[in-house]
Amino acid sequence: MKSLLPYIQIILSVLIVAAILLQRTGAQVGGAFGGSDNFSSAFHTRRGFEKGLFMFSIIIAILFAVSALLNLI
């Protein structure tokens, strides 16, 4: 099992990077400083594929953290 952990971590890291890059970015630099005229852009409800991708990235991040902790033991 100890010899498989680095490979598992590489696969999980590639999956989490892909999941994060596929997510929609609604944050703009101007909106952070009040420069955006659209006030509803800060409040966004995830639905469908976007919600699934968001949950997938959280699960993969948790699995990556667990595998990193197992690697320390």
Give the pLDDT band of residue 42 (cuts 50, 70, 90). Answer: low
Q: Which amino acid is at 5?
A: L
Answer for the pair 54, 23: CB distance below 8 angstroms, yes or no. Answer: yes
- Which residues are CB-neighbours of 42 under 8 A, at least 6 positions away? 31
Question: What single DSSP character describes residue 34?
Answer: T
Q: Answer whether residue 30 shows pLDDT above 70.
A: no
End-to-end CA distance of the chain: 12
Task: Please name which of 67, 52, 70 lies closest in space to residue 13, comparing C-alpha atoms.
Answer: 67
- Over the stretch 2-14, which tens digit does the pLDDT of each residue have? 789 999 999 999 9
Instruction: Write down the pTM of the prediction.
Output: 0.71
Which of residues 21 and 30 earns the better pLDDT score?
21
Name the CA dihedral angle for 56, 58, 59, 63, rounded to a multiple of 10 degrees.
Answer: 130
What's the pLDDT score for residue 73? 84
